[in-house]
Amino acid sequence: MQPLSILALHGPNLNLLGQREPGIYGALTLAEINRLLDEEGFKLQAKVFSVQSNHEGILVDTIHAALGQHHGILINAGAYTHTSVALRDAIAGVNLPTVEVHLSNIYRREDFRHHSYIAPVAIGQISGFGGQSYLLGLQALVNHLREARLIVQERRD
């Protein structure tokens, strides 16, 4: 089976993981999360390419560049989840299967965090499981992509 290519996007302030509000976001650093994604990707026969930026335009450009390069997107847009129509439109524009993840349960937090501009253009959302949210999201995305490949293959046969 050909390895899948997954873009893991980390939004603003996620570079501070491990030191920023560990009671909410946990003790794992972004480097540790990326290492766990690489290890899980290897098990799933998927290569994970991780990018973090605090700048919305860089995230949009990275999503655009994913077209033709990656099979799917795993995204924690951070605060941009609740504010960025631009990220939502970029994801819709490239039409790559996308899973939204969050370390904390955004629905148990402040009201403004309950709305996601990403969710309507994602195939699913996982939140509240700390670093495990990323791994669950990666597993779900890879399973979705493999099922889609099987359906395409069956139609060809």
> Residues with catalytic annotation?
25, 102
**Tokens of residue 81, six digits:** 């989840």
Nearest to 141 by CA among 66, 31, 90: 66
Is 141 assigned to a binding site? no
Would you mind telling me the total number of residues written for the chain in this entry?
157
Is 108 assigned to a binding site? no
Instruction: Determine the angle formed by the axes of helices 56-66 and 85-94, rounding to 10 degrees.
Output: 10
Is 157 assigned to a binding site? no
Is 84 assigned to a binding site? no
Is 104 assigned to a binding site? yes
- How far apart CA 32 and CA 135 sit, in angstroms, is 12
Is 76 assigned to a binding site? yes
**Tokens of residue 154, six digits:** 């069956």
- How far apart CA 33 and CA 45 sit, in angstroms, is 18
- How far apart CA 34 and CA 48 sit, in angstroms, is 8
Residue ranges at the known binding site for substrate: 76, 82, 89, 103-104, 113
Return binding residues: 76, 82, 89, 103-104, 113
